[in-house]
């Protein structure tokens, strides 16, 4: 596996890479979720490029940019073990030159859900992902469903800007008890970790009710709030049931919704979601 830390070196390497090329964008500190994305990409493409870049423009003031978990040596070893061909890890000054002034954003969709608490977050995401797409020129890119709003917005970016890149959505990888894996989970103390399970518990209760035929959003959100009541250390930020194209709230669910939730345990912010889909004429749920 090549480890490349500059854009110019990357361009030279890219010129001789075999297509199909898959890109897996990450911020590092790899856990099994990241590794499943790399494996997924490995199954779909001849060349797998993993980018590792803790993107400063997607962190707001007072957020955890400085303390975001970083473990470069560990990440290199894990990416290589899972069969990546290249780990592209540019320093900040390579990606944002002194005169950088161009940003891409979703004025409406980026202000919904997580955008309410993180106003400039998705502008940072759109800008870095578009830059990576232009540098890497992949045939496909793999993103986790765990960051549901992010992957839906990236699909929108690709469609709206006519990018010829297939966006592949990979399932959420969870701890044995159901907690969605996240680089930030290592910040949780033992008692915070217990409280963090509330999001999954609430979504699982929602899933059960959907599978038993409940379609009214108000009732499903009520079920989730009730489940969260058992986790007093978890402060819900939002629980919303939205259409996956418009990200607008729906009154009644169909096979194209995302039930999305965000909450804080002390200073750690957690997100999780489920998606409905059609399964042989019936309602399926991916959690």
**Which of 149, 172, 223, 273 contacts ligand AMP by CB under 6 A?**
172
For residue 53, state whether it binds ligand AMP (rule: CB under 6 A). Answer: no
Which residue of 183, 223, 268, 273 would you call a contact of ligand AMP, by CB under 6 A? 183
Q: Is 149 in the site for ligand AMP (CB under 6 A)?
A: no
Is 273 in contact with 145 (CB distance < 8 Å)? yes
List strand residue ranges (DSSP E) for the chain, in order.
Answer: 2-4, 21-26, 47-52, 86-88, 140-144, 166-170, 234-243, 257-265, 268-279, 282-286
Residue 80 or 214 with smaller CB distance to ligand AMP: 80
Q: Of residues 31, 34, 74, 212, which has the active-site annotation?
A: 34
Residue 34 appears among annotated catalytic residues: yes
The least distance separating ligand AMP from the CB of residue 151, rounded to whole angstroms, comes to 7
Q: Exposed (0-12), middle (13-18) or buried (19+): which is 144, by Cβ within 10 Å?
A: buried
CB of 163 vs ligand AMP, minimal distance in Å: 17
The number of beta carbons lying within 10 Å of the beta carbon of residue 156 is 17
Q: In this chain, which stretch among 100-108, 111-119, 139-147, 269-277 interacts with ligand AMP, using CB under 6 A? A: 139-147
Q: Which of 49, 128, 152, 181 binds ligand AMP (CB under 6 A)?
A: 181
Q: Select from 68-76, 108-116, 177-185, 197-205 the region that touches ligand AMP (CB under 6 A).
A: 177-185
Cα separation, 119 vs 95, in Å, equals 22
Q: Which stretch binds ligand AMP (CB under 6 A): 33-41, 76-84, 96-104, 207-215?
A: 33-41
Q: Which of 131, 144, 157, 240 binds ligand AMP (CB under 6 A)?
A: 144
Three-state SS letters, 147-170? CHHHHHHHHHHHHHCCCCCEEEEE
Residue closer to ligand AMP by CB (options 170, 268) is: 170
* Cβ atoms < 10 Å from Cβ of 85: 21
CB 145 within 8 A of CB 151: yes
Judged by CB under 6 A, which stretch of 129-137, 143-151, 239-247, 257-265 contacts ligand AMP? 143-151
Residue closer to ligand AMP, measured from CB, 127 or 170: 170
Three-state secondary structure call for residue 62 = coil
**Residue 23 in contact with ligand AMP, rule: CB under 6 A:** no
The sheet that has 2-4: what strands, in order across it?
2-4, 86-88, 47-52, 21-26, 140-144, 166-170
Structure tokens that stand for 193 in this block: 């970790």
Indicate the burial class of 73 (C-beta count within 10 angstroms; 0-12, 13-18, 19 or more). Answer: exposed
How many whole angstroms separate alpha carbon 27 and alpha carbon 9? Answer: 20
Of 91-99, 130-138, 174-182, 224-232, the segment contacting ligand AMP by CB under 6 A is 174-182
Say whether residue 170 binds ligand AMP (CB under 6 A).
yes
Told to check if 124 binds ligand AMP by CB under 6 A, we report no
Residue 34 or residue 112: which is nearer to ligand AMP going by CB? 34
ω into residue 20 within 30 of 0, thus cis? yes
Task: Determine if 146 is a binding residue for ligand AMP (CB under 6 A).
Answer: yes
Residues with active-site annotation: 34
Residue ranges binding ligand AMP (CB under 6 A): 26-27, 33-34, 36-37, 143-144, 146-147, 170, 172-173, 180-183
């Amino acid at each position: 596996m090549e480890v490349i830390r500059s854009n110019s070196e990357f361009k030279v390497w890219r010129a001789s890479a075999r297509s199909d090329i898959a890109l897996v964008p990450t911020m590092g500190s790899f856990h099994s979720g990241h590794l499943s994305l790399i494996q997924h990409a490995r199954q779909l493409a001849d060349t797998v490029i993993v980018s590792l870049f803790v993107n400063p423009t997607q962190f707001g003031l007072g957020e955890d940019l400085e303390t975001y978990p970083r473990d470069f040596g560990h990440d290199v070893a894990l990416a290589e073990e899972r069969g990546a061909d290249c780990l592209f890890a540019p320093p900040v000054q390579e990606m944002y030159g002194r005169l950088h002034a161009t940003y891409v954003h979703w004025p409406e969709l980026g202000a919904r859900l997580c955008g309410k608490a993180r106003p400039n977050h998705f502008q940072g995401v759109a800008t870095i992902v578009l830059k990576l797409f232009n540098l890497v020129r992949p045939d496909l890119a793999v993103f986790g469903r765990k960051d549901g709003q992010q992957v839906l917005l990236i699909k929108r970016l690709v469609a709206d800007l006519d990018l010829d890149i297939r966006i592949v959505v990979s399932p959420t990888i969870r701890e044995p008890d159901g907690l969605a894996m996240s680089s930030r989970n290592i910040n949780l103390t033992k008692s915070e970790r217990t409280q963090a399970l509330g999001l999954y518990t609430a979504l699982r209760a929602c899933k059960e009710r959907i599978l038993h035929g409940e379609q009214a959003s108000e009732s499903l959100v009520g079920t989730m709030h009730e489940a969260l009541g058992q986790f007093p250390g978890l402060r819900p930020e939002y629980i919303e049931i939205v259409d996956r194209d418009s990200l607008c709230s729906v009154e009644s669910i169909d096979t194209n919704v995302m039930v999305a939730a965000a909450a804080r345990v002390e200073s750690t912010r957690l997100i999780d979601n489920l998606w409905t889909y059609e399964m042989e004429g019936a309602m399926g749920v991916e959690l």
